[in-house]
Amino acid sequence: MKRQKTSLILLEVFAALLLLVVFFPFFLVIVNAAKSISDILTNPIGFQGVSFAKFFSNIKEILQSTDVKYLNSFINSTIITTFSLLAIGTFSGMAAWVLVRTKTKYSSLIFLLFISGMVIPFQIVMLPLVRFMESITAFTGIPLRDTYWGVVLVYIGFGSPLSIFMFHGFIKSVPIDIEEAAIIDGCTKPQVFFKIVLPILKPIFVTLLVLNGMWIWNDYLLPLLVISKNGNVRTLPLAVANLAGSFVKQWDLILTSVLLTAIPVIILFLFAQKHIIKGMTSGAIK
């Protein structure tokens, strides 16, 4: 009993140390977002020079900056993230449901092809992807780069493999009798999915919304490739990067804008953490 208690104390100490390591970068962002550049360079870890007046001054300067265009970039990130999440969640859920309920010799192969996208690094396909988008535009005349829906299409492709994988495992635990009863009552296939299956998928659906949402909201490399010319479609990570010039880096504005960019994701996580935990454990419990 004494050994078990000692082990628990050691685990708690280790967890506390791990929390400090994980939280330390965020601590630096919070503290230095309320400092001037000179105070940041002099003492980046301490509280010397921290001022709420400086913090609000940094926010005001960011909102008025023509380099950042924060409000415009915030709206762009919100539009791209919202439509990408809705499309990924809906289409992945439908695909996983069909693959689970349709037993053919090709369903397992198609499922493996979908999840194979999880093991392909984005860096391998990013340049062929850009050339492919340019080829489609040249062939059809439909612009894909520097547009909202072009970015959303790319996010659907890269976000679907993990979503289909998680939906697939969850749907297998859902009794098929519920769907059969709905069909007997006169529901069509789309009605069965949207009225019966989709509400059951709410825990895992919210989990995937948060996981994919944090990835899309904070993503820098993919928007950098797809949105290279049109500044009106620029997302927040691209806008923040504009504050870091070749010779001058405005650390006070950079850290303040990073904090402002992170706040929506933090709020989303705090409100949805109950659903995230439920979604990650439901498939294993049932």
Q: Where are the domains of the chain?
A: 1-64, 65-285
Residue 285 confidence (pLDDT) above 80: no
Domain 65-285 has CATH 1.10.3720.10: yes
C-alpha angle with apex 151: 145 to 156, nearest 5 degrees? 140
Q: For residue 57, with 0-12 CB atoms within 10 Å meaning exposed, 13-18 middle and 19 or more buried, which class applies? A: middle
As a dihedral over the C-alpha atoms of residue 122, residue 125, residue 130, residue 134, rounded to 10 degrees, the angle is -140
Q: Which tokens belong to 21?
A: 């390591």
Degrees to nearest 5, angle at CA 72 with 153 and 144: 25
pLDDT at 83 over 90: yes
pLDDT in tens, 181-192: 888 888 888 888
114 has a pLDDT exceeding 80: yes
Q: Model-level pTM? A: 0.84
Residue 90, pLDDT score:
92
Could you give the 3-state DSSP secondary structure of residue 67? coil
State the pLDDT confidence band at 1, using cuts at 50, 70 and 90.
low
